Amino acid sequence: MTAAPLKHSRYLWVVLIVLLVSATITQVVIEGRLQKPSVTPSVQWIQSPVLMRRLAVGFNAIWADIYWIRAVQYYGDTRLSEDESKNYDQLYPLLDITTSLDPHFNIAYRFGSILLSEGYPNGPGQADQAITLLQKGIRETPGKWQYFQDAGFVEYWWRRDSRAAADWFMKAGKLPDAPNWLEPLAASVLAEGGEREASRQAWLQLNQTADHEWIRQAARRGLLQLDAEGDIEILEPLVNKFFDRNGRFPASWQEMTAAKLLRQVPVDPTGSVYDLDPVTGTVDVGRKSTLFPLRSRLR
Amino acid sequence: MRSMAIIAGGVFRDSIRDRIGYGLVFFSILLMASSFLLAQLTAGQDVKIIKDLGLASASMIGLFIAIFFGIGLVTKEVERRSIYSLLSKPVTRSQFVIGKYLGLVMTLLINLSVMVVAFYGVLLYLDMTTLDGAKAAWEAPALDPRMLKAFALIGVELMLVTATAIFFSTFSSPFLSVALTFAVFIIGHFGEDLKNINSIVQSVVLPYIAKGVYYVMPNLSALDVKSAVVHGQAVSASHMLLASGSCMLYIATLLVGAILIFSRRDLK
Amino acid sequence: MDAIKTTGLTKHYQVGFWRPRPYIALDDLSLSVATGEVFGFLGPNGAGKTTTLKLLMQLIYPTSGHAEILGSPVGDVAVKRRIGYLPENPYFYDNLTAEELLVYFARMFGCSAREGRQRASRLLDEVGIGAERRFQLRKFSKGMVQRVGIAQALINEPEVIFLDEPMSGLDPLGRREVRELILRLRDRGCTVFFSSHVLSDAEALCSRVAILANGRLAAIGALDELTSVGSRGWELVVSGLSADVLARVNPRLTRATSLGDGRFSLELPPSTIPEQLIPDLGGARIVSLNPLRGTLEDLFVEQVRATGGERFSEKVAS
């Protein structure tokens, strides 16, 4: 008789399966309870992008991808967090590292600048950082007109500096391969009173030419925000009319429809009900709307 | 039981007599000492760099030993056939595997302790030679005891990697075992990023696969609190417990698997 | 109780990756070895001797059949306390000294470090390792490693000892020493199971032998019986034989060899009965008359050939 290779081996197989399953389940269970690793990457003390690339020992493209993933996750997690005050401080460093590791990481510059300039609390609201990032992109790839276009955008849309914006668009238009609508865009930006129209133009162009779906989505959102602003321009006077008639602002949209000033409760282009403030009479997109916050309400 | 202890002791004795082992520990201590020079180059970040380098080198060296020596534990005995006479003594194959594992773990933990002492030694020197004014800029004190937590988790990580190495070496060639152990290490570390891969790759199926792999594999990035302790951030006891506990389950799984596989093998 | 007993022990290996076919390393081996015997396990290279030993040490697992040592199944840890094993071409741990190796093993049997050192010292003396015992094994010659191997097999004073090619790597002096050692072990009541392809060792030491060829048991039994089966006739040495007498009786001889000075060695086939031949030898005087026994070698070669002597490639079942 030979002894079985292992005593109780059947029993051990069961133990093995139980252990593996419980290990996996434990992972699922503890996922939320583990401390989030600090996002601040240790590599920040490496000041030089060249050195950083060298230290990545040939895997810099992959590291860049990893940091890009982390940047996007960081932005998303922060935006969705329940905290009272949201802290987007690490976004710029993460994007900086990503673009240091891979200086031609197009989407990191372009979408990164969109994320950076997005108004608080949906984003850090750091238009300056966005411009800085784009300038870095321009240094690395001087001929890329899209970065100029994006910088012009940030200036116009977020910093409301038409002059600076027109300047960027003109520079962009002069680059080889640049499309021919950039210089006219510069012109319309400078035109007085044409602000909303110029913005619409700019967003439209971005939607049509951007090479990444996310940028196009941002452009479409911008267009919808413009539509919402148009709606508000119509709604607010109506609210004022109510005030004139009744000496106070309406408490809800129902009062407006009851007073026959509106036919139905107004919704923004995404279908979300507009927010009416009974105290000040201002109309805004609902806080839960994806169009929130409207740029025009930020300053 | 006794046989396991004897085999473990044998592994430890082997490691002491092994010049490579010594060289590695010496190298790490050298790294730590030379981190001083590097510190001079980066204006004000000196304590951070020394801490970063010290933790990183302890981790890397430990890993190197865990993978390469871990794989040799079983394969060397089988290839050279010293295991023939060993198994004719009153020791079972299970005791052999566990004994070897415990021996290497013990070696690793002792090495790690030596490196911790050297690490704090360097930091002590820095602490004594730095002016109080400069120290005010430090995020965390030089001789911060919280760094021990990072070392403790590094120890847990090494125990897991060793178990992985032994597991693969019970049935694959040394080369393949190294590759597979390394793969587990990488997936374990970048699993979180893997889970979020749909940020860069648009695919329907890939996120599910990535998530599945993430949950089945051990989460090694949870064991990496180096950044946190260097910045003086707290690492909660519950995090330490959960991360370590989860890894212990994996270690047990791997060792049971190794025993099952090794016990059935014909030793040609 | 038999010291060792196998029943139908069989081992097949799968050869070939795409369409694996079984290679029969051992086929249906059934034998038993009584306590206290010195048992020779013989066969040419590749016959399956080492396979058998590895099966007995549970280094490999049988395809079918089973084996027992001292009444318990092989691999039983309690039995491992009572046996010793010397593998073929042994290799131990390079960075240990001979002493340290023996102490390492001794401790696994429950000896304290001091007891282990005492036993180690004694055994190293017995196998003829002197001051070299303090050197690391990496510095040992093959013969010295072999001696250390024998020593480690004896570290626990086993009741049954398994030796795979114990003489390999030893010079003639060494071989004689090992032979004497085996006889000493037998005198102490130890059962010795050794495999070899050197027949003279078996002839000198064994009470029983088995001959293995191509994975199958070709012959087994007491040495005397095996070699006497088929007695081959007689050798008659005579002196003073005249040439014409020789010519006359020649047809009844297998061979006649002149030894000089009128002495002849006459080889008689089994069909010629000496008592009937001698009167016909004239005045020749008889110097000696001995039956011719087959040597173990003859038996060996005969049996190996009888099992077909197929080559490896033919053995792989098609």
Contacts of A57 (CB under 8 A, 6+ apart): none
pLDDT band at A30 (very low <50, low <70, confident <90, very high): confident
Q: What are B160-208's pLDDT values in tens digits? A: 999 999 999 999 999 999 999 999 999 998 887 887 777 667 777 888 8
Give B101-116 pLDDT, tens digit per residue: 999 999 999 989 988 9
Inter-chain CB proximity C68 and A5 less than 8 Å: no
Question: What's the ipTM?
Answer: 0.86
How confident is the model over A131-145, as a mean pLDDT?
Answer: 91
pLDDT digits (tens, 9 = 90+) for A238-253: 888 888 888 888 888 8
Give the model's pLDDT for residue A191. 65
In this structure, the number of other CB atoms found within 10 A of the CB of residue B13 comes to: 17
d(CA B45, CA C247): 114
Residues of chain A with Cβ-Cβ distance to B243 below 8 Å are 30, 34
Residues A227, A296 contacting (CB under 8 angstroms) = no
More confident residue, A78 or A191: A78
Q: What tokens appear for B156 in the block?
A: 């847990």
Domain coordinates in residue numbering, chain A: 48-188, 238-297
Using a 10 angstrom Cβ sphere, with 0-12 exposed, 13-18 middle and 19 or more buried, the burial of residue C85 is: buried
pLDDT at B13 over 80: yes
Three-class DSSP category at C13: strand
Count the alpha carbons within 13 Å of B208 in the hemisphere toward its beta carbon: 3
Q: Which chains touch C (3 or more CB pairs under 8 A)?
A: A, B
pLDDT given at position C313 = 39
Of B141, B155, B118, whose CA–CA distance to B36 is shortest? B118
pLDDT confidence of residue A194: 57
List of residues 6+ apart from C142 with CB closer than 8 A: C169
Delimit the domains of chain C by residue range.
2-82+158-228, 234-291
Query: Residues B25-83: pLDDT tens digits?
Result: 787 778 777 776 766 665 555 777 788 888 888 898 899 999 999 999 999 999 999 99
DSSP states of chain B: -HHHHHHHHHHHHHHHH-HHHHHHHHHHHHHHHHHHHHHHTTTT-HHHHHHHHHHHHHHHHHHHHHHHHHHHHHHHHHHHTHHHHHHTSS--HHHHHHHHHHHHHHHHHHHHHHHHHHHHHHHHHHHHHS-HHHHTT-SS-TT-TTHHHHHHHHHHHHHHHHHHHHHHHTTS-HHHHHHHHHHHHHHHHHHHHHHTGGGT---SSHHHHHHHHHHHS--GGGG--HHHHHTT----HHHHHHHHHHHHHHHHHHHHHHHHHHHH----
Q: How many CB pairs under 8 A join A and C?
A: 20
Contact C99, C134 (CB under 8 A): yes
CB of B6 closer than 8 Å to CB of C107: yes
Q: C108–B6: do the CB atoms touch at under 8 Å?
A: yes
The answer, yes or no, to whether the previous bond of A293 is cis (omega within 30 of 0) is: yes
Give the end-to-end CA distance of chain A in Å, rounded to a whole number.
89
Confidence of residue B153 (pLDDT cuts 50, 70, 90): very high
CATH match for A48-188 among 3.90.550.10, 3.40.190.10, 1.25.40.10, 1.10.1420.10: 1.25.40.10
- CATH 3.40.50.300 for the C2-82+158-228 domain, yes or no: yes
Record: contact A19-B249, CB cut-off 8 A: yes
- Nearest-CA residue of chain C relative to B8? C104
Total-model pTM: 0.77
Q: Which pLDDT value is given to residue A4?
A: 59
Chains with 3 or more CB pairs closer than 8 angstroms to A?
Answer: B, C
Q: From the list B215, B230, B235, which residue is nearest A35 (CB)?
A: B235
Per-residue pLDDT of chain C (318 residues; tens, 9 = 90+): 888 999 999 999 888 778 778 888 899 999 999 999 999 999 888 888 999 999 999 999 999 999 999 999 998 899 999 999 999 989 999 889 999 999 999 999 999 989 999 999 999 999 989 898 999 999 999 889 999 999 999 999 999 999 999 988 888 888 889 999 999 999 999 999 999 887 878 888 888 999 888 888 888 888 777 766 556 788 888 998 888 888 888 888 888 888 888 888 888 887 878 888 888 888 888 988 887 766 667 777 777 777 665 444 344 444
Sheet holding C255-260, edge to edge: C255-260, C263-268, C234-239, C285-291
**What pLDDT sits at residue B87?**
93
Q: Per-residue pLDDT averaged across A123-138, rounded?
A: 91
Q: Look at residue A299 in the predicted model and tell me its pLDDT.
A: 42
CB C63: neighbour CB atoms within 10 A?
Answer: 16
- Asked if CATH classification 3.40.50 holds for the domain at C234-291, the reply, yes or no, is no
Mean pLDDT of chain A: 83
The answer to whether the Cβ–Cβ distance between A34 and B199 falls below 8 Å is no
Rg (CA), chain C: 25
Q: How far apart are CA B26 and CA B114, in angstroms?
A: 10
